[in-house]
Amino acid sequence: MKLKIILAFVCCLALLQTRAQQVAAPDQIKTDSGMLTVQPVTHGSLVLTWNGKTIYVDPYGGAKLYNGLSKPDLVLITDIHPDHLDLKTLDSLETNGVKMVVPKAVADQLPEKYKQQLVILANGQSTTQSGIAIAAVPMYNLPETADSKHPRGRGNGYVLNLGGKHIYISGDTEDVPEMRALKNIDVAFVSMNLPYTMDVDQAASGVLAFKPKVVYPYHYRGQNGLSDVESFKKQVNAKNKKIEVRQRNWYPNQ
C-alpha cells in the first residue's frame, strides 16, 4: 500500500514538474471584483481568469499547454494566422457551446460546427459576453500596402472590462494611431516581433503614448529569435517610471 502511495505521489510530482516546464507561473492583478489571474501560455496565447470565468486568448500550441487550466467560458481569437487561429488546438479543447469572439475573417475559416458559437466583431464594434464587456480595436501593419501581413480591418485587438480594469490585448499590430490613442488602459499585452508586428522601439513608443498602468511584452518571437524585452522595459521606464513592465516567459522551452 505504501509503495502505491509513493508511486502515485511521484507521478503527481512529475506531472506538476512537466506542467511547470511548459508554462510560466501565473500573475495576479487586483480588480474591484476580486483577483484577475493572468496565465501566460505561449507566444500570443494567454488565459485570463476572473470572477469565476476563464477566457482563452488565441489558443495555440497544442492542448497539453492548457492541461490543468479550467475549461474556457469564452474564447477570443484575433487573426487568421496559424499562431492565432489554430484549429488543431481549438478542436482538442473543451469548447462545446462556448462563445467565441472573432473577426469575420476568422469566422470565414472556422468549420461549420463552430458557427453557432461565434460572435463576430468588426473594428469599433463591441459586445458583452458572460458579463464581460469586449470592444474590438484595429490591429494592422504600417505602412498600409497591398501585400501587408496584417491589413487594417482583418483582425481585432480587444479591450476587455474585468472588474473595472480595462485590459488591452494588442494582437498583431504595429504602433498604429488607434493604439496610441487608447485611454484608461490598466493592463496591456503588447506584441513586438519583426517582421510581423513592430520592433521593440516602436512598442515602447506606443506604450509611452497610451500609458497603461501595467504592460506585458508578449508575442515577442520573430524570425531572428526572441525580441529584447529588457530593452523595451528600459526604454519605457526611462521616460515613465509609473508604467509597470512585467516580463514573463512566454517561451519556457526555448
**Is beta strand 187-191 parallel, antiparallel or unpaired with respect to 165-169?**
parallel
User: Which amino acid is residue 35, in one-letter code?
Assistant: M
Per-residue pLDDT averaged across 155-174, rounded? 97
User: Which amino acid is residue 40, in one-letter code?
Assistant: P
Secondary structure percentages of the chain, helix, strand, coil, to 5: 25, 30, 45
Residue percentage of the chain with pLDDT more than 70: 91
Q: What is the pLDDT of residue 91?
A: 97
pTM of this structure: 0.91
Question: What are the tens digits of pLDDT across the range 203-213?
Answer: 999 999 999 99
**Is residue 102 exposed (0-12), middle (13-18) or buried (19+ Cβ within 10 Å)?**
buried
Q: Which residue has the higher pLDDT, 2 or 154?
A: 154
Q: What b/e readout covers 38-49, taking b as 16+ CB neighbours within 10 angstroms?
A: bbbbbbbbbbbb
Q: pLDDT-derived band of residue 223, with 50, 70 and 90 as boundaries? A: confident
Q: Quote the DSSP letter at residue 97.
A: T
Q: What is the pLDDT of residue 5?
A: 42
Domain ranges (residues) in the chain: 26-245
Residue 127 CA to residue 119 CA, distance in Å, equals: 8
Average pLDDT, the chain: 91
**Which listed CATH number (2.40.50.140, 3.60.15.10, 3.40.50.40, 3.40.50.2300) goes with 26-245?**
3.60.15.10
Q: pLDDT-derived band of residue 254, with 50, 70 and 90 as boundaries? A: low
Question: What are the tens digits of pLDDT across the range 93-135?
Answer: 999 999 999 999 999 999 999 999 999 999 999 999 999 999 9
Helices 200-210, 229-239: inter-axial angle, 10-degree rounding: 30
**Is residue 13 exposed (0-12), middle (13-18) or buried (19+ Cβ within 10 Å)?**
exposed
Closest by alpha carbon to 161, among 3, 16, 50?
50
Residue 77 CA to residue 106 CA, distance in Å, equals: 8
Per-residue pLDDT averaged across 57-64, rounded? 96
Chain centroid, CA 77 distance in Å = 9
What would the grid cell of residue 236 be? 519605457
Q: Which residue has the higher pLDDT, 6 or 106?
A: 106
Could you tell me if 119 and 129 are in contact, meaning their C-beta atoms sit under 8 angstroms apart? yes
Per-residue pLDDT averaged across 192-213, rounded? 96
Question: What are the tens digits of pLDDT across the range 66-80?
Answer: 999 999 999 999 999
Residue 151 CA to residue 97 CA, distance in Å, equals: 31
Residue 96 has, within 13 A of its CA and on its CB side, a CA count of 1
Report residue 211: phi and psi, to 5°: 55, 60
